[in-house]
Chains A and B, each alone.
Chain A
Amino acid sequence: MIDYLREIISGTWSLFVGLGITIRYFFQPVVTVQYPYQTLPMTPRFRGHIELVKDEETGETRCIVCGMCQKACPSNCITVNGEKREGVKGKVLTEYRLDFTKCSLCGLCVESCTPKAITFSKDYNLAGVRKEAYIFDLKKRLEAKNR
C-alpha cells in the first residue's frame, strides 16, 4: 500500500518536473535560423566550386596559366587558356572555364596550384534549370566581383 502511494506520488512529481523543463524551453529564445532571411557564416573549410583568387597588389588574378590544375583534375572539368602579350612577363589568362556538372570537389586543383590562385568559394545555394548554367567562366566571375 505504501509502495503503491509512493509510486503514484513520485510518478506525478516526475510529470511536473517534465512540464517544468518544457516550459523553461518555451520561454527561452528560439535557436533556429530563419534561413532565407538569415544565414549563418559559412565555415572556413567549406568546399564550394573553385574560384580565382584576387591578387591584392594588382587587383588581377594570380593565375600564371601553368595548366597544373587542368592536368590534376581527374574529371577534366577545368579548361585554362592564356596568351603571350607584349611587355608582360609570363602568360596572361584569357579564359578559365569550370564545368561544375562534372566536378566532385576533390580539391586536387587547389592543392596543385603553385601561386595559390584558386580557392574554394562559399557558394552553396546554386540553382539552375539548364546544364549550361553550371559551366562557369571564372575569369569573368572574378572581374564581375572586382567591379
Chain B
Amino acid sequence: MHVDPEIIRLLAFLIGVIAFAALNAAYLVWLERKEAGHIQRRIGPKEVGPFGLLQPLVDGIKLMTKQLIVPAGVDPVLFRIAPILVMVPAIMSFVTIPFSETLVARNLDIGLLAIFAFASVNVLGLLLGAWGSRNKYAVISAARVVSQNVAYEIPMLVTVVTLVMITGTMNLHNIVMQQQGGFWHWNIFNFSASPLMPVAFLIFFVCMLAETNRAPFDMAEAESELVAGAFTEYSGMGFGVFFMGEYANIVIGASMATILFLGGWDCPFGLFPGVHWFLIKMYFLIFTVIWIRWTYPRTTFYGLLNLSWKILIPISFFNLILTSAMLKVF
C-alpha cells in the first residue's frame, strides 16, 4: 500500500501542533504559579510531583471530572461553541509559525496576515460566549473586550505594516531569513530602516499583552469587578478550554514578537542557529509577560483606552511615516 508522504507529514504536524499547544497551555499555568510565587517570595506549587510538576495534570483531571453546567436561559449553541472558537484559531495559528528553518507545518506566503486574521477570531469567541451566557457581568466584560481589542488592534497592525514595508514580504520564513547573522541584523535594532524600531517592538509587545487579555489589561476577567467576566457561567472543561486558549494565544503572541523583531531562530552571536534559539526567545518573552502580570496592578478601563488612542496609535503612525520616508530617501 502506498501512502502519500505528504499525508504522513500533515498528520505528524497536526499531532505535534496540538500537543505543543496543549502542553504549553498546561505548563504555562505551572510557570505562572511558580513565577508568581517567587516574585512574592513564596515557593508556589510544590506538593504534586517534584517541584509541583504534576500540578497541571492534576488540575486538568479535576476540571475534567467536574460537571459541565449549562445554565437555564443561555443560548445553547453560542454557549457551547465559544470555548472552541477561542481554542481552535490559536491552534490553527501554529500551523504557519516557523520554529526553525525546516520546522514549519505550512509555509504560507501570507502567513503574517493569516495569524492576525486568526487572532481576531479569539475576540469573537469571547464575545459570543459572554453574550450567550445571559449574564450581566459577562456582557459588560464582552463590551470591554471588544472595545479594548479594537483599540489595540490598530497600533499593533500599524506596527506590523511598518515591518512589512521594511521586509517587503508577509512570509514569516522570509522575514526571519532577512534577520540572520547576529543580533545587529534583527528588526528590533534595524536602525537604518527607522530609529524607532525598539519603540515599535515595545508597542507591539504592549498590544500583544492587551490582545491576549493579560494583566495589566485583563479587563475581560477583572475578578474584583466582574466576578470572572466572560467566563462567569462556564464550569469544568468549558472554562478549562477558554483558559488553555488564552495561554495558547500568549504563546502565539510571543512567537510573533520573536519572529518579527527578535530574529526567530537566529542566534544572537551568529553561532548554531536552530529551534532552541526560537524557544529560548519565545519563553523569555512569555516569562516577561508573566513577570509583567505580577508587577503591575490592573489599569482602569479609561486608562487602557487612553494609552492606546493617545499614546500608542500616534507613535505607531509617526513610526509608519518616518519609516516610509526613510525607505524612500535611503
CB within 8 Å of B: which residues of A? 8, 12, 15, 18-19, 21-23, 25-32, 34
Contact = CB atoms under 8 A, between A and B. Distances in A.
A8 B43 contact: no
B48 interface: no
Contacts of B291: 19, 22-23, 26
A22 B43 contact: no
A12 B202 CA distance: 10
Majority-rule SS of A interface residues: helix
A11 to B, nearest CB: 9
Contact of A26 (B35, B46, B296, B311): B35
A23 B39 CA distance: 7
Given A18-B295, A22-B295, A32 B43 contact: yes
Looking at A27, A30, A34, the one whose CB has the most chain B CB atoms below 10 A away is A30
B2 interface: no
A31 B41 CA distance: 6
B311 A8 contact: yes
Nearest to A22: B295
25 contacts: A8-B311, A8-B315, A18-B295, A18-B296, A19-B291, A19-B292, A22-B291, A22-B294, A22-B295, A23-B291, A25-B38, A25-B40, A25-B41, A26-B38, A26-B39, A29-B41, A30-B37, A30-B38, A30-B41, A30-B42, A30-B43, A31-B41, A32-B43, A34-B43, A34-B46
A21 B291 CA distance: 11
A21 to B, nearest CB: 8
* Interface bracket on B: 10 to 19
Interface of B: 35, 37-43, 46, 202, 291-292, 294-296, 311, 315
A22 B294 CA distance: 8
A34 B35 CA distance: 17
Contacts of A27: 38
Given A8-B311, A18-B296, 8 more contacts: A8-B315, A12-B202, A15-B296, A18-B295, A22-B291, A25-B41, A26-B39, A29-B41
Looking at B35, B39, B292, B294, the one whose CB has the most chain A CB atoms below 10 A away is B39
Nearest to A28: B41
Contacts of A23: 39, 291
Contacts of A34: 43, 46
A23 B287 CA distance: 11
Contacts of B294: 22
Contacts of A26: 35, 38-39, 291
A25 B295 CA distance: 11
Looking at A18, A22, A27, the one whose CB has the most chain B CB atoms below 10 A away is A22
Nearest to A7: B311
B36 to A, nearest CB: 10
B41 A32 contact: yes
Nearest to B311: A8
A22 B37 CA distance: 11
Contacts of A21: 295
B182 to A, nearest CB: 25
Looking at A12, A26, A31, the one whose CB has the most chain B CB atoms below 10 A away is A26
A31 B38 CA distance: 10
A27 B43 CA distance: 12
